[in-house]
């Protein structure tokens, strides 16, 4: 007859061997799965950072162009002479920089149409201002209504960048823009601080 202690020992040894075999097979599989998961998270973080950086850069470039247009209108209304040729060259430079910024491959996946609309609206405002300067429409300190409308349209088109950044942050963190800025008041330390704009 078998001793019950020997039987228990045999069962324990077989159970231990089975658990060890399962661990030997599934352990590396679980580690590989976790490693793939962490690599995917790192890729997601890289994509997230790239999107925020590209959106911020596009927003910054279009903001510089928009500020230049506003400055030109302000100077024109107070009687400063604006050289139309220099204005056109500077607008072309701003347009090229904005164009390069928004046609980043990372951003094309986000939304190409609103970004193009921003550049088109800014170009339209530039054209309106150039025509008004050329015709001396700013004489007397008045801003023509078509210039005001074009600048307002450009400002509205540019607002898409802020909305897009807020959506990317919300999708990644689960926090609204207000919640995010309350929790992280310093924002993104590696990105230009443009919250004031």
Consecutive 10-residue averages of pLDDT for the chain (197 residues): 66 71 66 64 69 82 93 91 91 89 68 77 93 87 91 91 80 76 64 42
Longest dimension (CA), the chain: 118
What per-residue confidence (pLDDT) applies to 168? 78
Q: Output the pLDDT for position 194.
A: 42
What's the pLDDT score for residue 7? Answer: 66
pLDDT, residue 190, reads: 46
- What is the rounded CA–CA span in Å between residue 169 and residue 124? 31
Q: What is the pLDDT of residue 192?
A: 43
Would you say how long the chain is, in residues? 197
Question: Among candidates 126, 17, 127, which has minimal Cα distance to 66?
Answer: 126
What CA–CA distance (Å, rounded) separates 27 from 66? 58
* Segment 118-152, tens digit of pLDDT: 888 999 999 999 999 888 888 888 899 999 999 99
Residue ranges in 78-190 assigned as alpha helix (H): 84-102, 105-108, 112-134, 145-173, 177-183
- DSSP character for 190? T
The whole-number pLDDT of residue 86 equals: 93
Tokens of 129: 């201002």
Tokens describing residue 164: 């897009």
Q: What is the pLDDT of residue 141?
A: 84
Tell me how many helices (H) and strands (E) the chain has: 6, 0
- Cβ atoms within 10 Å, residue 51: 22
Query: What span, in angstroms and rounded, lies between the C-alpha atoms of 149 and 152?
Result: 5
pLDDT at 74: 92
pLDDT for position 2: 56
Show Cβ contacts of residue 61 under 8 Å, excluding neighbours closer than 6 positions.
Answer: 94, 97, 98, 100, 101, 102
Task: Kindly report whether the global pTM for this prediction surpasses the value 0.85.
Answer: no
Rounded CA separation 5/148 (Å)? 95
């Amino acid at each position: 007859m078998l001793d019950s202690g020997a039987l228990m020992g045999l069962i324990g040894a077989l159970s231990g061997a089975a658990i060890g075999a399962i661990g030997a097979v599934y352990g590396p599989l679980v580690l590989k799965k976790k490693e793939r998961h962490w690599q995917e998270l790192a890729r997601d973080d890289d994509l997230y950072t790239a999107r925020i950086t590209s959106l911020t850069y596009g927003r910054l470039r279009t903001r510089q162009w928009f500020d230049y247009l506003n400055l030109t209108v302000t100077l024109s209304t107070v009687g400063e002479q604006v050289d139309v040729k220099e204005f056109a060259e500077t607008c072309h430079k701003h347009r090229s920089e904005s164009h390069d910024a928004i046609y980043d491959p990372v951003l094309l996946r986000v939304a190409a149409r609103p970004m193009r609309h921003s550049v088109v609206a800014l170009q339209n405002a530039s054209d309106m201002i150039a025509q008004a300067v050329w015709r001396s429409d700013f004489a007397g300190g008045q801003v023509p209504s078509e210039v005001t409308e074009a600048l307002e349209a450009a400002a509205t088109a540019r607002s898409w960048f802020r909305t897009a950044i807020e959506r990317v942050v919300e999708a990644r963190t689960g926090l609204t823009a207000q919640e995010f800025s309350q929790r992280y008041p310093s924002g993104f330390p590696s990105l230009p601080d443009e919250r004031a704009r």
